[in-house]
Amino acid sequence: MLSKVSGGPETLELSELPDPKAGPGQVVVAVRACAINYPDVLIIEDKYQFKPPRPFAPGGEIAGTIAELGEGVTGWAVGDRVIAMIGNGGLAEKVVASAAALYRLPEGRSFAEGASLILTYGTTIHALRDRGHIAAGQTLLVLGAAGGVGLAAIELGKAFGATVVAAVSSDKKAAAAKQAGADTTLVYGRAPFDKDASKALAEQFKAAVGRNGAHIVYDPVGGDYAEPALRSIAWEGRYLVVGFPAGIPKLPLNLTLLKSCDVCGVFWGAFAARDPQANAEHIATLFELWEAGKIAPRVTETFPLEKGGDAIAKMAARGAIGKLVVEVA
C-alpha cells in the first residue's frame, strides 16, 4: 500500500514490489498485522516530523514472523514471532527492520494485539512517568480517552495508582473508557468552541476532577479542548502535550503562572532514540503489566491490506475506539 504522491488515504495505491533483502544487523519480517496510528494520517500528507522519500508504505507498528536474517544478527531465528517499530513501511507483505527494534511476541498473544502495544503504551508510559511524574493518589485527566493512547493512559494511570477522569466525545466512547477502568467519564461537545462554550467546558472539567484539580492532564487531542483542560489543572500540575488531531492550540501562559504548572512536550520517538536504555526499561515494564493483565491492547476493528486506506481514513476522522489494525495474509 504505497504513497506515491502527497495526499489523503485515497491517494494510496496497492502495488507489487520486489521482496526486500536484509542488510547487516537487519531482518526481513513477514508482516501479519500493522496497527494504524495518527502519524500514519500525517505522514502521507507530508505533515509529520519525518518525511520518507516516495514511494513508501505508511505503517510504523507491526507484528509478524522473521522471514530472513541479515549478516551479524544473533538471538533471533527464521520463524520467530516478533513485534517491531519501523517508522513506516508496515502496510506491506514484507518489510526490513533493524534487529535492535524487535520485541518477542509472547505465545498466546495475537499478531493484531502485538502490533497494537508498543507505540501507544510506550508513548504513554514515557509521558506519565518521565514527563508527568505520576504517583499513587493523584488525579489524571485524559482527553480523547477512547483512542489508542487514551485507553493506554487510562490503564497505565490505574496501574500506577491514579484516579482517572476520562473525557470523550460520545456515550459509546465513554462506555469504552469505563470498561478500560476509568473512575469517572465526561462527554464533551464537538469543537470549535466560542468563548462561552470554552468556559462551560472548563467548568465541566473542573467538576469532574474535583476542587483540587488534575495533577496530570494527558492531551493527545489539542485544539479548542486544550485551554479548558489547562484551566482544570492542579497547583504545580503537569500538562502533557501528546498530539494535535483537533489542531495546534495556543495556550494563555498566564494560566501557567497562576497554577505554577508545567506544560510538558511528549516526543516518545526522540526519547527512545536518545535514551534507549530507559526506553527498554519502560517496554519491559509494559510486558510485565501485559502478562499481569493490567494492560491489554483493545483491537476494535480489522481491515484487509487492500482496505488499509479506509483504516487511515477512519483514524483521520477521529472515529476510532481503541486500535485499528490492518491484517496482512
Q: What percent of the chain has pLDDT over 70?
A: 100
Sign of CA dihedral 76, 78, 79, 84: positive
How many other C-beta atoms lie within 10 A of the C-beta of residue 259? 18
In eight-state DSSP terms, residue 81 is E
pLDDT bucket at 191, cuts 50 / 70 / 90: very high
> What average pLDDT does this structure show over 151-172?
97
> What average pLDDT does this structure show over 141-164?
97
Please state the domain extents for the chain. Answer: 9-117+297-327, 119-268
36's grid cell: 494504524
123's grid cell: 508513548
Residue 329 scores a pLDDT above 80: no
Helix (H) or strand (E) holding 125: helix 118-125
CA–chain centroid gap for 123, Å, is 6
Q: What is the pLDDT of residue 85?
A: 93
The residue type found at 181 is G
210-232: pLDDT as tens digits:
999 999 999 999 999 999 999 99
In the block, residue with C-alpha cell 469532574: 208
Q: At 270, give phi and psi (nearest 5°).
A: -70, -40
Superfamily (CATH H level) for 119-268: NAD(P)-binding Rossmann-like Domain (3.40.50.720)
pLDDT bucket at 48, cuts 50 / 70 / 90: confident
Sign of CA dihedral 112, 320, 97, 20: positive
Give dist(CA 298, CA 319) in Å, integer.
15
Under 8 Å between Cβ of 136 and 65: no
Give the residue from 211, 269, 209 showing the smallest Cα distance to 239.
209
> What average pLDDT does this structure show over 129-156?
97
154's grid cell: 487510562
pLDDT bucket at 147, cuts 50 / 70 / 90: very high
* CATH label, 9-117+297-327, candidates 3.40.50.10490, 3.40.50.300, 1.25.40.10, 3.90.180.10: 3.90.180.10
Give the residue from 33, 197, 61 showing the smallest Cα distance to 117.
61
Same fold, 9-117+297-327 and 119-268: no
The pTM (predicted TM-score) of the whole model is: 0.93
Question: What is the SS3 assignment for 214-282?
Answer: EEEEEECCCHHHHHHHHCCEEEEEEEEECCCCCCCCCCCCHHHHHHCCEEEECCHHHHHHHCHHHHHHH
- How far apart, in Å, do the first and last CA atoms of the chain sit? 14
Under 8 Å between Cβ of 1 and 91: yes
> What average pLDDT does this structure show over 155-184?
97
Under 8 Å between Cβ of 64 and 329: no
In the block, residue with C-alpha cell 530507559: 278
Residue 323: is it exposed, middle or buried by C-beta count within 10 angstroms (0-12/13-18/19+)?
A: buried
Give yes or no for a cis peptide into 304 (omega within 30° of 0): no
Residue 318 scores a pLDDT above 90: no
Sign of CA dihedral 1, 119, 218, 277: negative
Under 8 Å between Cβ of 266 and 102: no
Give dist(CA 23, CA 67) in Å, integer.
13
Q: At 182, give phi and psi (nearest 5°).
A: -60, 140
